[in-house]
Structure 1
Amino acid sequence: MPDARPVSDQAAARIRTALAGVRTAQDDLEVAVARALLDGASVRAVAELGLSPNTVQKYGRAHGWPTEENRARFNESRWDRYAREQDGHTPAE
């Protein structure tokens, strides 16, 4: 096994900066996924952007999804949804 050599200060600084960027990007990704779910996007639609459905659900749950409204809409029938949309309460509003 080769002997261990220390990391230079310059290389260590680059690595620390890159790690901070990765952590920030990860946090931004989790929040963006959760916001999409909270805004009514389906797990499947979010997953199609490049994540597994399990990961989408994990990020959503970590940030307050599903809400009571999300649960109610998930459990509503097609006719309930039709009536709600006819009343002018569409998700786009």
Structure 2
Amino acid sequence: MPDARPIGGEDADAIRSALAGVLAAQDDLERAVAQALLNGASVRAVSELGVSPNTVQKYGRAHGWPTDANRARFNESRWDRYGREADERNG
């Protein structure tokens, strides 16, 4: 078995910096996915950008999705949706 050798300070700093960037990017991704869902995007539409549907739902739930309004829209019939969208277009 190879002997354990310590990592140099400069290498350790580079790894810590990169890891901090990865963690920040992960947080940004989670919040962006959740915000898209909160804004009314479907899980399918978000997942088409490269995030699995299960992960999309996980990130959404972690940040307050679905809201009562999201649930209501999910459960509305096609005719209810057409009526709501027509009302929104007509002011």
Q: TM-score, normalised by structure 2?
A: 0.95
Counterpart in the other structure of 2:17: 17
Q: Which runs of 5+ in 1 are unaligned?
A: none
Alpha-carbon RMSD across the aligned residues, in angstroms, is 1.2
Counterpart in the other structure of 2:33: 33
* Alpha-carbon distance in 2 for matches of 1:88, 1:43: 23
Q: TM-score, normalised by structure 1?
A: 0.93
Counterpart in the other structure of 2:63: 63
**Runs of 4 or more consecutive aligned structure 1 residues displaced over 6 Å after TM superposition:** none
Q: How many residues align?
A: 90
Deviations 1:4-54 (A, max 9, x none): 000000000000000100000000000000000000100001001011100
Counterpart in the other structure of 1:46: 46
Matched-pair identity in %: 76
Q: Which runs of 5+ in 2 are unaligned?
A: none
Structure (1/2) with the larger helix percentage: 2
